[in-house]
Structure 1
């Protein structure tokens, strides 16, 4: 604040390719210009800020000037929490889904959209970032819905699991304990899971565009095209997000927090470095064979553990390269010479 004595706090409520909208008070969103290094939100070049260092929906910033033409963001305030994923592409990058969040509603439909392994992946991205996850199973009103079987398939999760009808205000009222005044909640889940429908129900008006899912596979279209923070009548803030087809770890996740049941069994294995495959004395495989643990959950645990380890290696390499680039007096690396005869 000392470097910007005329600045005022505001919160990022929308993020578009062309810029941001900020609010200094509820229902007063205004477009705001940003610093040049934040303007290419989808790019990353040498010398620019990494994507996770730019403002995201839910961030608190300092603004100067006045709308509609001179309002501008001049500083990003420290975050108390953030949900991130690895960005698509070969190079290591992070993408902030939402910042300064108290709770994440992981939304999944009780139709063909129901996928315990995908729910586990979402929970992995949420865990360890100071955000409380809650699994919300929508479409409980459908004839084929079976909430109890779904809960059984999610065995091992140490998080609240709620089944509801996203179109019914009385059913959606089950979420009120996490929607108290001053709390911020983000909705994450695949397209067609009912995130925008649930948002409209909690708002009491049809504000978010919704669409029907395909009959043969219950997959939905991207009716939500950008992240938006919305003030609810309860005094909470809700962030609706587009469905995400790719959920890559960043390497900062704590796998043990999402699979504490498997980690507890792994501590009983004969070998400390047991891979839970064919090793003798494996407590995890023994639990699977006894029917006490779902083998598909173990397979997903091993898969996600490998992905997090790989992402952690790439993150360490990126940090080492940054540290090397900041070393004063170090000559720049020469590009490798091309073999003769090649262009």
Structure 2
């Protein structure tokens, strides 16, 4: 079996070797950065620029079929050039995604093949439990494991109180208080930052993601900008997704800040995030309970006695309606695509959508609308 020792540092292992399926003319590579029309990939012989093949572009059924940062791909090096053509994307074991910007009903991959996802939230005026719940939904859906980092602890008089609040809405999820300015909390993150592990860092703009990554790496990997003191709103520093190998041996993926995370096909992540409410509903007297005041409603009883936070329950209902609306829009989009292609045969899942022609290479607006 062929091995690629220089790729081992980026997470290559025997499992990925098996995925090669005797592709003798192609080489494995990991996507380290994504730009408007091009990618940067890591191969056993170093970095190369790359573009997708015409066949891959034509056969793509959806935008998520294109490579994303963190993906392992099979590429064909171009003779005499420091570039390559990406022929195939290997199956992902995890992928954090969101809905494509605007009115487009499609999936945008934020980071692929991630072991841990650091959800960052600053301990300033922008701290918001509902935002953290939203990111938890997406992370649980992705197949990666969530970790919440409460950043800028040096700006907060009582960071432990905020940690308690996060732990209450995220049972079982590790929550760490950190401060790059005061070099606080790095030792607690060491178990995640081990060789062979891939960690993506995500969160709202202004939470200090670039500063955090520079701190974890022990070097200046990203340009850092400040925030407006009057409202704690950040200016975007990261302008594209990028993958870094840091001294501990881990791989970090930085992502641009998002003002709002638009969920995509996250019903399982939604149920895991709100597992306490799902459990409560199972104790209602009637199976068809609408939780609007019926006798024996466990949800209303929990709201009345304070064991269930009203704001958390409201967010549960809000995201439930949002995901149902997205599902309906996706089914309608599928029907239109199938009719346009002359292949309409009934509604299908948005994960198996058909199309009427080649999908263009994704032109991502990295910042939330």
TM-score bin, normalised by smaller chain: 0.7 to 0.9
The structure with higher relative contact order (CA 8 Å, sep 6+) is: 2
In the alignment, is residue 222 of structure 1 matched against residue 236 of structure 2? yes
**Residue 34 of structure 2 aligns to a residue in which SS?**
strand
| Corresponding residue of 1:276 | 291
Structure 2 partner of 1:309: 324
Match of 2:174 among 136, 160, 182: 160
Which structure 2 residue ranges, 5 or more long, are not aligned?
1-19, 346-369
Q: Deviations over 1:277-305 (max 9, x none)?
A: 33333212211221212110000011011
SS at 2:330 equivalent:
helix
Residue 308 of structure 2: which of 269, 293, 307 is its match?
293
Looking at structure 2, the residues matched to 275 and 214 of structure 1 have their Cα atoms a distance apart, in angstroms, of 44
Q: What is the DSSP-based 3-state SS (H/G/I as helix, E as strand, rest coil) of the residue aligned with 2:169? A: coil
Instruction: Please give the residue correspondences for 1:69-108 in structure 2 after superposition, counting only pairs within 5 Å.
Output: 69-108=82-121
Equivalent of 1:190, from 185, 204, 212?
Answer: 204
Choose the corresponding residue for 2:282, options 267, 284, 304.
267
Which residue pairs with 1:134 in the alignment? 147
Alignment equivalent of 1:35, drawn from 29, 53, 70: 53
User: How many Å separate the matches in 2 of 1:281 and 1:290?
Assistant: 14
Given candidates 24, 28, 41, the residue that maps to 1:5 is: 24
**Alpha carbons of structure 1 residues 275 and 163: separation in structure 2 relative to 1, 3 Å:** farther
CA distance in structure 1 between the aligned counterparts of 2:152 and 2:308, rounded to whole angstroms: 27
- Does residue 199 in structure 1 map to residue 237 in structure 2? no
Cα distance in 1 for residues equivalent to 2:151 and 2:69: 25
Residue matched to 2:41: 22
Corresponding residue of 1:212: 226
Q: 2:336 & 2:187 partners in 1: Cα distance? A: 49
Unmatched 5+ residue regions in structure 1?
40-45, 330-343
1:124 and 2:132 aligned: no
Residues 322 and 117 of structure 1, relative CA distance in 2, 3 Å threshold: same
Question: How far apart are 1:187 and its partner, in Å?
Answer: 0.5
Residue 73 of structure 1 aligns to a residue in which SS? Answer: strand
Q: Distance in 2 between matches of 1:293 and 1:301?
A: 11
Judging changes above 3 Å, is the alpha-carbon distance between structure 1 residues 170 and 10 closer, same or farther for their aligned structure 2 residues? same
Distance (whole Å) between structure 2 residues aligned to residue 179 and residue 77 of structure 1: 24
TM-score (norm 1): 0.86
Q: Does the Cα contact within 8 Å between 1:251 and 1:309 map onto a contact in 2?
A: no
Q: CA deviation at 1:328?
A: 9.7
Verify the 8 A CA contact 1:31 1:68 in the aligned structure 2: no
CA distance in 1, matches of 2:41, 2:228: 35
Q: Once superposed, what is the RMSD of the aligned Cα atoms?
A: 2.6
* Partner residue of 1:177 out of 179, 191, 209: 191
CA contact (8 A) 2:52 2:85 kept: yes
Match of 2:68 in 1: 56
1:88 Cα offset (Å): 1.9
Secondary structure of the structure 1 residue equivalent to 2:52 = coil
Aligned length: 322
Q: 2-side partners of 1:150 and 1:85: how far apart?
A: 27
Classify the secondary structure of the residue corresponding to 2:302: helix
Q: CA deviation at 1:202?
A: 1.0
